[in-house]
Amino acid sequence: MSEKKPSFSIVIAVRDQNDDLKANLPALLGQKYDSFEVVVVDEHSTDDSSDFLKQQKVENDRLYSTFIPTYQFQRNRRRLAYSIGVKASKNDWIVFADIATTSFSEQWLEELSEFACQPWVLLLGYINKKTGDVRLKTYEDIERAKQIITRAERRRENEGHSSWMQHLQPDTSYDFIVVRADHAHELLRFFIVSPKLQVPKEH
């Protein structure tokens, strides 16, 4: 009897990223994998993101979208969006991804499934932009992972503090983060993003 493969909930937070959704959401919904869903949390976009998501939900039952309630606006909107996404998720593993990433191959979740197992609770992932190959750093303990990553970021940035989950923003350290669902809220406690990191970088 073959071992059951892990199930994934891909959680994405967006704000005025309709172009990125149109370009990259199909690759996420088109994964060659049986057990997954895509959860998109809209941070009150002012473009056509909401209309596009409504259309996609009609066409693809793997997609679920929601939004941040107006009365819940707070300084750390991105963390709130991810928290809402986690609550809406139904699967064993949560994948925090950036919709601006263009390198998701159709075998991406299949590759992740080989590592989404005990004893790991946290996977930090990179995607080779040329080949689409996935590289992962694996951790058995989130607190231990935070300590290791924070020390590395302090050395690199020569700062007195580090916002270690800032790598979910464009142009930062990791392309995606995978965490076991029962540890997702523990992970989000460490999500500290300064206001300047919430503003998309100009290119």
Closest to 139 in 3D by CA, of 120, 161, 113, 112:
120
Q: Give tens-digit pLDDT for 135-180.
A: 898 999 988 888 877 776 666 555 444 454 554 443 456 788 999 9
**Total domains in the fold of the chain:** 1
Q: Which of 8-17, 101-110, 146-155, 193-202 has the lowest mean pLDDT?
A: 193-202
Domain contains 13: yes
Domain contains 203: no
Structure tokens at 133: 């190959």
| pTM check: above 0.75 | yes
Domain contains 169: yes
CATH number, domain of 42, equals: 3.90.550.10
The answer to whether 108 and 136 have CB atoms below 8 angstroms apart is: no
Domain contains 160: yes
**Average pLDDT across the chain, whole number:** 82
Q: What is the pLDDT of residue 190?
A: 74
Q: If DSSP codes are grouped into helix, strand and coil, which group holds residue 102?
A: coil
Q: If DSSP codes are grouped into helix, strand and coil, which group holds residue 8?
A: strand
Pairing of strands 8-14, 63-67: unpaired
Residue 146: give the domain boundaries.
Answer: 8-197
